[in-house]
């Protein structure tokens, strides 16, 4: 499969995905529905742009003083009866969680949907230690039962339609616990009921839960999870031990700051005015919820991102997924093509910063965009994703590779010609005289570009010559 200059892995994966008609139809239907609902929910608020500016300012302020707020958070969580652990990378975070679960003597945990735990591969790491992690979010359950990978931040099974979900439930539920009811159809109500019955068993049995958090409040040590199904509330309140793995960028300074984000997030993500379930907890309280609480603060590349002046805005992200739903590339390629748990525009900038750009897939991600800017327009914390993409492309080009050497040589030659008017005029005349010999398609690595585009016709006479002859 030919690739455009310097683009290895994403184009190959995307090319496979765009040939899958069912996948494209599922994605188109789902992203357009969420996108339209979001636009209506946002339009209801006259002060949306001011809220957006406030959210951006709070995040920027917090990131500038991240060290101070994290220490304040640790003190507040500890004072409220929780225990804070610091994890430099995925391996350390997984080891901490596995040790904590083993100490309880349990062999299984229930999970609240969490991008951070997917990022570090927690379920796989726990399985290697003989601990089973049960996903309790409906879409995550579908992904887990189907031995699939998530393809959307908010709707991980967005690539599946109702018929496929019915098949997965009917065939796989029994291997994980309570089987699907006999004669299950693909009606949404029946599918939801099957999941509810299956999960209820898990909630009632679980002694340990693992969660992430949408926000952490430094001044009080409070953690916040927003969700739509109530499964999170069950996990956060029923088990004896709660372990929360949270990226260090999720801290906000004060309780008041939540007011801004609890308006921005639901409208941007599920297009709701407020989340059906907003759970907040501060350490432990006797007779109310878990009696043991552990917070694992995860770096895993985040401080490296913080050190990059252009890239650090990525850490403002509140994982609403609005950028995915408006992205023309995501809509056609789907989430799996991004080779990471973070798909879409945010994945194209976050993954190469978290993992570096050494591998072909990570080096290709900054190119997984048309730079149309739709992601920037909808982002509730105004992350200029196109700016970060171009910044990352520069880095990838600097690190070399065949395609990038050619691209750089072409740009260098163009720069020289455009900088020397006499050379430019001579080149234009030569191009005009030889126009009959011009190929319709570029040769070599540029060929993929002309597979779907026409090369512009070169005029017989350059504009400047025409102007000299015709000016009054
Ligand atoms: S980059 Fe912006 S729009 Fe995309 S998920 Fe993050 S906060 Fe939402």
Using the atom order of ligand 1, give the atom closest to the CA of residue 269: 8
Please compute the mean of the pLDDT values over residues 164-168 and round it to a whole number. 95
Q: What separation in Å is there between the alpha carbon of 390 and the centre of ligand 1?
A: 17
Q: Which helix (H) or strand (E) holds 66?
A: helix 66-79
Burial of 113 (0-12, 13-18, 19+ CB in 10 A): buried
Q: How far apart are CA 220 and CA 16, in angstroms?
A: 49
Identify the sign of the CA torsion 79, 80, 81, 84: negative
Q: Ligand 1 in contact with 379 (CB < 6 A)?
A: yes
Q: Which residues have a Cβ under 8 Å from the Cβ of 66 and sit 6 or more positions away?
A: 248, 249, 251, 306
Q: How far apart are CA 451 and CA 461, in angstroms?
A: 27
Using the atom order of ligand 1, give the atom closest to the CA of residue 345: 4
Q: Which of 381, 384, 389 to mutate to test the pocket of ligand 1 (most atoms within 8 A of CB)?
A: 381
Highest mean pLDDT among 20-34, 48-62, 322-336, 415-429 belongs to 48-62
DSSP strands (E only) in 289-428: 292-298
- For residues 431 and 458, the answer to whether their CB atoms sit within 8 Å is yes
Question: Position of tokens 């029994």?
Answer: 174
Q: What separation in Å is there between the alpha carbon of 162 and the centre of ligand 1?
A: 27
Q: Ligand 1 in contact with 396 (CB < 6 A)?
A: no
Comparing 449 with 95, which gets the higher pLDDT?
95
pLDDT at 8: 45
Q: How far apart are CA 403 and CA 307, in angstroms?
A: 28
Comparing 224 with 401, which gets the higher pLDDT?
224
Please compute the mean of the pLDDT values over residues 434-439 and round it to a whole number. 85
Please compute the mean of the pLDDT values over residues 132-158 and round it to a whole number. 92
Q: State the CB neighbour count (10 A cutoff) for residue 419.
A: 9
Which segment of 31-35, 373-377, 407-411 scores lowest on mean pLDDT?
407-411
Q: How far apart are CA 62 and CA 105, in angstroms?
A: 38
Q: Angle between the 385-398 and 402-419 helix axes, to the nearest 10 degrees?
A: 100
Comparing 472 with 229, which gets the higher pLDDT?
229
Q: Where are the alpha helices (DSSP H) in 245-384?
A: 257-269, 302-306, 322-326, 328-333, 344-355, 360-364, 374-378
pLDDT at 1: 31
Nearest Cα neighbor of 232 from 155, 154, 318, 137 is 137
Q: Which residues have a Cβ under 8 Å from the Cβ of 448 and sit 6 or more positions away?
A: 2, 3, 4, 11
Q: What separation in Å is there between the alpha carbon of 316 and the centre of ligand 1?
A: 8
Which segment of 18-22, 52-56, 79-83, 203-207 scores lowest on mean pLDDT?
18-22
Strand duo 277-282 + 208-211: pairing: unpaired
Which residue, by CA, sits nearest to atom 4 of ligand 1?
Answer: 323
pLDDT at 438: 84
pLDDT at 456: 79
Q: How far apart are CA 328 and CA 317, in angstroms?
A: 20
pLDDT at 121: 96
Q: Ligand 1 in contact with 337 (CB < 6 A)?
A: no
- For residues 459 and 432, the answer to whether their CB atoms sit within 8 Å is yes
- Residue pLDDT, tens place only, 188-235: 999 999 999 999 999 999 999 999 999 999 999 999 999 999 999 999
pLDDT at 4: 40
- For residues 96 and 296, the answer to whether their CB atoms sit within 8 Å is yes
- Residue pLDDT, tens place only, 63-88: 999 999 999 999 999 999 999 999 99
Which segment of 32-36, 123-127, 404-408 scores lowest on mean pLDDT?
404-408
Q: Ligand 1 in contact with 462 (CB < 6 A)?
A: no
The pLDDT confidence band at residue 9, using thresholds 50, 70 and 90, is confident
pLDDT at 240: 97
Q: In what order do the strands lie in the sheet with 222-227?
A: 251-252, 215-217, 222-227, 277-282
Asked whether the predicted pLDDT for residue 453 surpasses 70, the reply is no
Q: How far apart are CA 17 and CA 13, in angstroms?
A: 6
The pLDDT confidence band at residue 402, using thresholds 50, 70 and 90, is low
Q: Ligand 1 in contact with 320 (CB < 6 A)?
A: yes
pLDDT at 403: 60
pLDDT at 26: 81
Q: Which helix (H) or strand (E) holds 226?
A: strand 222-227
Nearest Cα neighbor of 329 from 348, 342, 316 is 348
Q: What separation in Å is there between the alpha carbon of 382 and the centre of ligand 1?
A: 8
Q: Where are the alpha helices (DSSP H) in 149-306?
A: 162-176, 188-205, 231-237, 257-269, 302-306
pLDDT at 439: 81
Q: Ligand 1 in contact with 319 (CB < 6 A)?
A: yes
Q: In what order do the strands lie in the sheet with 83-87?
A: 83-87, 292-298, 241-247, 208-211, 108-111, 132-135
Q: Angle between the 66-79 and 48-64 helix axes, to the nearest 10 degrees?
A: 90
- Residue pLDDT, tens place only, 261-283: 999 999 999 999 999 999 999 99
Q: Ligand 1 in contact with 327 (CB < 6 A)?
A: no
Q: What is the pTM of this model?
A: 0.86
Q: How far apart are CA 137 and CA 443, in angstroms?
A: 50
Please compute the mean of the pLDDT values over residues 310-318 and round it to a whole number. 98
Q: How far apart are CA 155 and CA 142, in angstroms?
A: 10
pLDDT at 73: 98
Q: What separation in Å is there between the alpha carbon of 318 and the centre of ligand 1?
A: 6
Q: Ligand 1 in contact with 23 (CB < 6 A)?
A: no
Q: What separation in Å is there between the alpha carbon of 26 and the centre of ligand 1?
A: 22
Asked whether the predicted pLDDT for residue 109 surpasses 90, the reply is yes
DSSP strands (E only) in 88-206: 108-111, 132-135
Asked whether the predicted pLDDT for residue 156 surpasses 80, the reply is yes
Q: How far apart are CA 158 and CA 341, in angstroms?
A: 14
Nearest Cα neighbor of 326 from 346, 306, 308 is 346
Q: What separation in Å is there between the alpha carbon of 154 and the centre of ligand 1?
A: 11
Comparing 240 with 17, which gets the higher pLDDT?
240
Torsion angle, alpha carbons of 386, 388, 393, 394, to 10: 120
Q: Ligand 1 in contact with 317 (CB < 6 A)?
A: yes
Name the token pair of 96: 């901490």
Half-sphere exposure of residue 410, counting CA atoms within 13 Å on the CB side?
11
Q: Which helix (H) or strand (E) holds 211?
A: strand 208-211
Q: Ligand 1 in contact with 349 (CB < 6 A)?
A: no
Asked whether the predicted pLDDT for residue 463 surpasses 50, the reply is yes
Q: Which of 56, 263, 321, 386 to mutate to test the pocket of ligand 1 (most atoms within 8 A of CB)?
A: 321
Q: Ligand 1 in contact with 13 (CB < 6 A)?
A: no
């Amino acid at each position: 499969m030919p690739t455009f200059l310097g683009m290895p892995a994403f184009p190959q994966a995307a090319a496979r995905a765009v040939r899958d008609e069912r996948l494209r139809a599922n994605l188109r239907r789902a992203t357009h529905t969420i996108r339209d609902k979001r636009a209506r929910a946002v339009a209801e608020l006259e002060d949306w742009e001011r809220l957006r500016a406030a959210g951006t300012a709070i995040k920027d302020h917090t990131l500038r003083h991240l060290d101070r707020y994290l220490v304040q958070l640790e003190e507040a969580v500890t004072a409220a009866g929780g225990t804070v652990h610091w994890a430099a990378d995925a391996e350390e975070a997984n080891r901490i969680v596995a040790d904590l679960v083993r100490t309880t003597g349990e062999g299984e945990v229930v999970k609240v949907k969490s991008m951070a735990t997917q990022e570090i591969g927690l379920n796989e790491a726990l399985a290697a230690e003989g601990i089973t992690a049960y996903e309790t979010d409906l879409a995550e359950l579908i992904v887990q039962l189907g031995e699939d990978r998530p393809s959307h931040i908010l709707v991980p099974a967005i690539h599946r339609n109702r018929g496929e979900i019915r098949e997965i439930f009917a065939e796989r539920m029994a291997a994980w616990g309570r089987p699907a009811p006999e004669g299950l159809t693909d009606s949404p109500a029946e599918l939801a009921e099957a999941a509810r019955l299956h999960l209820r068993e898990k909630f009632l049995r679980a002694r340990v839960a693992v969660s992430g958090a949408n926000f952490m409040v430094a001044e009080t040590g409070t953690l916040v999870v927003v969700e739509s199904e109530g499964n999170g509330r069950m996990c956060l309140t029923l088990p004896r031990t709660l372990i929360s793995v949270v990226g260090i960028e999720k801290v906000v300074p004060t309780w008041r700051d939540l007011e801004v984000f609890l308006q921005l997030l639901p409208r941007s993500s599920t297009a709701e005015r407020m989340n059906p379930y907003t759970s907040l907890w501060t350490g432990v309280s006797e007779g109310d919820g878990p009696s043991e609480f552990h917070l694992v603060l995860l770096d895993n590349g985040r401080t490296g991102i913080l050190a990059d002046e252009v890239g650090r805005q990525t850490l403002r992200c509140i994982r609403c997924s609005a950028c995915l739903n408006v992205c023309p590339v995501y809509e056609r390629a789907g989430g799996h093509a991004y080779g990471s748990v973070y798909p879409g525009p945010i994945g194209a900038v976050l993954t190469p910063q978290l993992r570096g750009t050494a591998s072909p897939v990570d080096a290709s991600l900054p190119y997984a965009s048309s730079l149309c800017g739709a992601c920037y327009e909808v982002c509730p914390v105004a992350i200029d994703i196109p700016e970060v993409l171009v910044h990352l492309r520069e880095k990838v080009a600097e690190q070399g590779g065949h395609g990038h050497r050619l691209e750089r040589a072409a740009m260098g030659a163009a720069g020289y010609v455009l900088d020397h008017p006499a050379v430019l005029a001579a080149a234009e005349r030569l191009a005009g005289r030889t126009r009959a010999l011009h190929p319709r398609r570029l040769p070599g690595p540029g060929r993929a570009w002309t597979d779907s585009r026409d090369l512009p016709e070169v005029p017989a006479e350059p504009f400047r010559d025409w102007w000299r002859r015709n000016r009054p």
